[in-house]
Amino acid sequence: MKISAESIWGDLVRIRESAPLVHNITNYVVMNPTANALLALGASPVMAHALEEAAEMVTMAGALVVNIGTLSPPWVQGMHRAILRAKELQIPVVLDPVGAGATPYRNRTLRELLEKGGADIIRGNASEIQAMVDAEATTRGVDSSAAAEESLQAAQSLAERESCTVCVSGAVDYIVDGAQVYRVHNGDPLMTRVTGMGCTASAFCGAFAAVNPHFPAAAAHAMAVMGIAGELAMEQACGPGSLQLHFIDAVYNLNREQIAAKWQVKP
Amino acid sequence: MKISAESIWGDLVRIRESAPLVHNITNYVVMNPTANALLALGASPVMAHALEEAAEMVTMAGALVVNIGTLSPPWVQGMHRAILRAKELQIPVVLDPVGAGATPYRNRTLRELLEKGGADIIRGNASEIQAMVDAEATTRGVDSSAAAEESLQAAQSLAERESCTVCVSGAVDYIVDGAQVYRVHNGDPLMTRVTGMGCTASAFCGAFAAVNPHFPAAAAHAMAVMGIAGELAMEQACGPGSLQLHFIDAVYNLNREQIAAKWQVKP
Amino acid sequence: MKISAESIWGDLVRIRESAPLVHNITNYVVMNPTANALLALGASPVMAHALEEAAEMVTMAGALVVNIGTLSPPWVQGMHRAILRAKELQIPVVLDPVGAGATPYRNRTLRELLEKGGADIIRGNASEIQAMVDAEATTRGVDSSAAAEESLQAAQSLAERESCTVCVSGAVDYIVDGAQVYRVHNGDPLMTRVTGMGCTASAFCGAFAAVNPHFPAAAAHAMAVMGIAGELAMEQACGPGSLQLHFIDAVYNLNREQIAAKWQVKP
């Protein structure tokens, strides 16, 4: 699918009109900004992790977003349950492998989530994606230390192995699915100084996948909207605190002209 | 009790002067903005959910606010323990039935919290209140899909069944207790695009109930202050991000003149 | 060690250049603002609490910050595990005894964390530090009710008993270690109306301790940066909502001239 300002705008309008429910099982640090960003986008966030209800909650959702940032055994059980139900019902699943490679527990959990359930889109930074294909790679917490360009190959390996779309975010975001590659050049470096911007990107992938069954295009649209809103926010921001606020306002107010003027997605 | 600008202001002054401790067992998504809103109001928030201390913590509180947004069994145990102690000590209990009707687990938990403990004020959106009186009703996550006006009857049924005050928030907020009804017309639709505004309203009901034993009036005051602060914030907001910030500032700076100029509470 | 504008600036530059990983096991309420404040400072926050990975995660860290704000047994297990590993590896440990004295469970947990592991820096408000040395003292949730000046003696007792640095924050912050006392006069009273400012101060103590092995100086530098950024933020703030945003921006933009103009640390 060819990405254009019109294809980005079209999906955004679909989200605003249908307000898809995005079910998030995510980490404690980013729950609040993730929910706010999804609301600003026009989606309808829900957060519910307990084994007792994760499967029922996902049945109403347009997408499931699983993020292992602050994982623990009871949460991982809820993630498994929700992913299995989502797969049964063909609800798109986005996996954010926060801190992949940082600890054996994270690596094991990611492997089990993929083996027993799977994901339609995996979105992480370069270090995380690298760690998912190379057991020897280690990451430093949630930072990205590998160069994004270098990890394009890792993304392609992971996409092939898991038969899914892989999105590596960085200065340029790479969205890979089989032979297809999209490069999103939007965004601003200061966004890395706001916690949860990557997690928000994953949640946006979920919202776009809820209205667009072509997952690589959905992910590219999501990353473009993230980046464009970040660039617009930077026009008013004086630091990461004000960037976060203006980012939410920019997502909410994003219009066709702004997308047309700023989008930078290349094959 | 008759609501007036003076009665709203009087309770607000009492909160600012006595800084009542409001004990919250609430969901992960909204803990931070709830604590900030209570601090801006002049109350003193505390969050403590563990079974090991929930009962002791509530003994110091002016009110207990229980919110099931991201419930799980260990948290529900803490909620039960805290509610029982609050009831023993006649500390007002506010219940926020987030997502009522979305899953059987939520419905069962709400039923047990009410049967084994009870609440003095239940505050939810129209869908949630509807779901609590009609087991057949289903909600869509945390959204409000039922029309508020239609659910006035549901609120009255629930208030009667549970012998408590019920507050249904929406374009117009209805506060119901027996034959009494207050209608709060303050607020702005953009507030629904900021996560946790409903949860903050419940926390405010707790703070006002801590200084005013007439619970329907306390709830009406709380909803009026929410709505007025929201309207004042809208005068400066450019989207939901800046609305959230200006809302906190507006609550903190709220004065008698602003209340007198804007309050819209009708019988 | 003598504190000066240059010593504060020197540590800040070291943090910005080395981006030390600060491992936080902290409370749900403040995770988001703590992570954002650490990112604005130039540090690299990670949050991981599970017993399954707490020890591995800390091995990569420049400092460990443990905060008991919303404690529960599984989290306390993770705290113990992380502290033990940090002690083995001589990674500095900061302990924030949120709500010390409020419940027996908190007091018992603090005692066990100190007995089985220990801390290099303990940072709390006056009530909390008082409660840690006087089992009869009771606090009121997370508020500070004791006068800071009066609790200087408590800080000295605690510092001696635990052989560590103790920081009591308040209108004046006292940093005590053996016979040494630093008094930080920076800050603004409105900062107490933003939730998590104390927890952020503890996280900053961790970041500074990661680059400065003289822990009392590290803590004094951290408190000075907190206070100076708060004062700068107040120049633009209209309430606690905007204070929080401008605080993050001020931390991010803090420069040598601002520190030189505003620092107020006395022996």
Q: Collect all residues of chain A within an 8 Å Cβ-Cβ radius of residue C247.
A: 241
* CA pair distance B230, A37, nearest whole angstrom: 19
For residue A77, give both structure tokens.
């059980």
Distances (CA, A) of B24 to A30, B42, B65, C21: 20, 15, 5, 31
Q: Collect all residues of chain A within an 8 Å Cβ-Cβ radius of residue C207.
A: none
Torsion of CA B106, B109, B113, B116, to 10 degrees: 150
Asked whether the beta carbons of residue B194 and residue A39 sit closer than 8 angstroms, the reply is yes
Tell whether the model's pLDDT for residue A142 goes beyond 60.
no
How many beta-carbon pairs under 8 angstroms link A with B? 107
Kindly provide the b/e burial profile for residues B32-64, where b requires at least 16 CB atoms within 10 angstroms of the residue's own CB: bbbbbbbbbbbbbbbbbbbbbbbbbbbebbbbb
**What's the pLDDT score for residue C1?**
87
**What's the pLDDT score for residue A3?**
97
Q: Which chain A residue shows the shortest CA-CA distance from C248?
A: A241
Q: Collect all residues of chain B within an 8 Å Cβ-Cβ radius of residue C27.
A: 47
**What's the pLDDT score for residue A44?**
98
Lowest mean pLDDT among A144-148, A229-233, C151-155, C231-235: A144-148
Tell whether the model's pLDDT for residue B145 goes beyond 90.
no
Q: For the segment B14-60, what is each residue's pLDDT rounded down to a tens digit? A: 999 999 999 999 999 999 999 999 999 999 999 999 999 999 999 99
The phi, psi pair for B54, rounded to 5°, reads: -60, -40
For residue A262, give both structure tokens.
């700023």
Asked whether the beta carbons of residue B141 and residue A57 sit closer than 8 angstroms, the reply is yes
What is the mean pLDDT of the segment spanning B179-196? 97
**What is the ipTM metric for this complex?**
0.95
**What's the pLDDT score for residue C197?**
98
**3-state SS record for C109-166:** HHHHHHHHCCCCEEEEEHHHHHHHHCCCCCCCCCCCCCCCHHHHHHHHHHHHHHCCEE
* CA pair distance A193, B75, nearest whole angstrom: 33
* CA pair distance B94, C112, nearest whole angstrom: 34
**Disruptive mutation site among B31, B47, B72, B128 for chain A (greatest number of A CBs within 10 Å):** B72
* Alpha helices for B70-151 (secondary structure H): 73-88, 104-116, 126-133
Q: Collect all residues of chain C within an 8 Å Cβ-Cβ radius of residue A242.
A: 245-246, 249
**Disruptive mutation site among C52, C60, C236 for chain A (greatest number of A CBs within 10 Å):** C52
In Å, how far from its chain's centre is CA A180? 18
Instruction: Read off the pLDDT band of A136 (50, 70, 90).
Output: low
Q: Collect all residues of chain A within an 8 Å Cβ-Cβ radius of residue C28.
A: 28
Q: Which residues, in sequence order, are CB contacts of C153 under 8 Å at separation 6+?
A: none
Among candidates B40, B46, B53 on the partner chain, residue whose Cβ is nearest the Cβ of C142? B46
Angle (CA) A170-A174-A175 rounded to 5° is: 135
Q: Collect all residues of chain B within an 8 Å Cβ-Cβ radius of residue A73.
A: none
Instruction: Read off the pLDDT band of A12 (50, 70, 90).
Output: very high
Q: Collect all residues of chain B within an 8 Å Cβ-Cβ radius of residue C195.
A: 32, 35-36, 39, 45
Q: HSE-up of A260 (CA within 13 Å, CB side)?
A: 5
Long-range contacts of C109-112 (CB under 8 A, 24+ apart): C109/C68, C109/C71, C109/C76, C110/C68, C112/C76, C112/C80
Q: Which residues, in sequence order, are CB contacts of B264 under 8 Å at separation 6+?
A: B184, B185, B186, B224, B227
Q: Collect all residues of chain C within an 8 Å Cβ-Cβ radius of residue B248.
A: 239-241, 244
Angle (CA) A155-A267-A14 rounded to 5° is: 90
**What's the pLDDT score for residue A138?**
55
Q: Which chain A residue shows the shortest CA-CA distance from C34?
A: A29
Q: Which residues, in sequence order, are CB contacts of C73 under 8 Å at separation 6+?
A: B50, B52
The alpha carbon of residue C20 is apart from the nearest alpha carbon of chain A, in Å, by 10
Percent of chain B at pLDDT exceeding 90: 92
Q: For the segment A117-129, what is each residue's pLDDT rounded down to a tens digit? A: 999 999 999 999 9
Collapse the DSSP code of C24 into the 3-class scheme (helix H, G, I; strand E, B; otherwise coil) and give the result: strand
Q: Where are the beta strands (DSSP E) in A1-83?
A: 21-25, 44-47, 63-67
Tell whether the model's pLDDT for residue A110 goes beyond 80.
yes
Q: Collect all residues of chain B within an 8 Å Cβ-Cβ radius of residue C240.
A: 36, 39-40, 248-249, 252
Asked whether the beta carbons of residue B57 and residue C241 sit closer than 8 angstroms, the reply is no
What is the mean pLDDT of the segment spanning A39-56? 97
The alpha carbon of residue B202 is apart from the nearest alpha carbon of chain C, in Å, by 17
**What's the pLDDT score for residue A188?**
98
Asked whether the beta carbons of residue B141 and residue A253 sit closer than 8 angstroms, the reply is no
Asked whether the beta carbons of residue A32 and residue B27 sit closer than 8 angstroms, the reply is no
**What's the pLDDT score for residue C146?**
52
The phi, psi pair for C21, rounded to 5°, reads: -75, 125
**What's the pLDDT score for residue C136?**
63
Instruction: Read off the pLDDT band of B147 (50, 70, 90).
Output: low
Asked whether the beta carbons of residue C60 and residue A27 sit closer than 8 angstroms, the reply is no
Q: For the segment B221-248, what is each residue's pLDDT rounded down to a tens digit? A: 999 999 999 999 999 999 999 999 999 9
Torsion of CA B165, B168, B172, B176, to 10 degrees: -20
* CA pair distance C157, C166, nearest whole angstrom: 9
**Disruptive mutation site among A91, A245, A254, A255 for chain B (greatest number of B CBs within 10 Å):** A245
Among candidates B69, B99, B241 on the partner chain, residue whose Cβ is nearest the Cβ of A245? B241
* CA pair distance A222, A173, nearest whole angstrom: 11
Q: Taking a C-beta distance cutoff of 8 angstroms, is the pair C29, B38 a contact?
A: no
Q: Which residues of C touch B (CB under 8 A)?
A: 27-30, 32-33, 69-73, 99, 102-106, 140-143, 192-196, 238-242, 244-245
The alpha carbon of residue A247 is apart from the nearest alpha carbon of chain B, in Å, by 8
Q: Which residues, in sequence order, are CB contacts of C242 under 8 Å at separation 6+?
A: B245, B246, B249, C236
Q: HSE-up of C184 (CA within 13 Å, CB side)?
A: 33
For residue C197, give both structure tokens.
């400012």
Asked whether the beta carbons of residue C242 and residue B245 sit closer than 8 angstroms, the reply is yes
Q: Taking a C-beta distance cutoff of 8 angstroms, is the pair C119, C144 a contact?
A: no
For residue A97, give both structure tokens.
């492998």
Asked whether the beta carbons of residue C50 and residue A27 sit closer than 8 angstroms, the reply is no
Q: Collect all residues of chain C within an 8 Å Cβ-Cβ radius of residue B245.
A: 241-242, 244-245
What's the length of chain C?
267
Q: Which residues, in sequence order, are CB contacts of B66 under 8 Å at separation 6+?
A: B25, B26, B79, B82, B83, B93, B94, B95, B96, B113, B119
Collapse the DSSP code of C220 into the 3-class scheme (helix H, G, I; strand E, B; otherwise coil) and give the result: helix
Q: Residue ranges of chain C with pLDDT lower than 70?
A: 135-149
The alpha carbon of residue B189 is apart from the nearest alpha carbon of chain A, in Å, by 13
Residue A255: how many other CB atoms lie within 10 Å: 10
Q: Collect all residues of chain C within an 8 Å Cβ-Cβ radius of residue B252.
A: 193, 239-241
Q: What residues form DSSP beta bridges with A255?
A: none
- Residue B46: enclosing H or E segment and its boundaries? strand B44-47
Among candidates C33, C72, C194 on the partner chain, residue whose Cβ is nearest the Cβ of B39? C194
- Which single residue is written with the structure tokens 């909600």? B139
Residue type, C127: S
The alpha carbon of residue B102 is apart from the nearest alpha carbon of chain A, in Å, by 7
The alpha carbon of residue C235 is apart from the nearest alpha carbon of chain A, in Å, by 14
**Disruptive mutation site among C26, C27, C28, C47 for chain B (greatest number of B CBs within 10 Å):** C28
Q: Where are the beta strands (DSSP E) in chain A?
A: 21-25, 44-47, 63-67, 93-96, 121-125, 165-169, 173-177, 180-184, 265-266
Q: Taking a C-beta distance cutoff of 8 angstroms, is the pair B31, B70 a contact?
A: no
**What's the pLDDT score for residue B146?**
52
Residue type, A238: C
Instruction: Read off the pLDDT band of A106 (50, 70, 90).
Output: very high
Sign of the torsion angle spanned by Cα atoms C125, C127, C132, C138: negative
Q: What residues form DSSP beta bridges with B95?
A: B66, B122
Q: Which residues, in sequence order, are CB contacts of C165 under 8 Å at separation 6+?
A: C120, C121, C122, C159, C175, C176, C177, C215, C216, C219
Asked whether the beta carbons of residue A60 and residue B140 sit closer than 8 angstroms, the reply is yes
Q: For the segment A188-201, what is each residue's pLDDT rounded down to a tens digit? A: 999 999 999 999 99
Q: Which domains does chain C have, with CATH numbers?
A: 5-266 (3.40.1190.20)
Among candidates A21, A28, A252 on the partner chain, residue whose Cβ is nearest the Cβ of B239? A252
Q: For the segment B74-121, what is each residue's pLDDT rounded down to a tens digit? A: 999 999 999 999 999 999 999 999 999 999 999 999 999 999 999 999
* CA pair distance B254, B45, nearest whole angstrom: 19
* DSSP line for B19-40: --EEEEE--TTTHHHHHHHHHH
Q: What residues form DSSP beta bridges with C136?
A: none
Report the Cα–Cα distance between both ends of chain B, in Å, rounded: 10
Residue type, B30: V
Residue type, C165: T
Q: Which residue has the higher pLDDT, A254 or C136?
A: A254
For residue B112, give both structure tokens.
């047990």
**What's the pLDDT score for residue B60?**
95
Distances (CA, A) of B169 to A19, B175, B182, C174, C224: 20, 8, 12, 46, 44
**Disruptive mutation site among C110, C238, C247, C248 for chain B (greatest number of B CBs within 10 Å):** C238
Q: What subunits touch chain C, counting only 3 or more CB pairs under 8 A? A: A, B
CA-only gyration radius of chain B, Å: 17
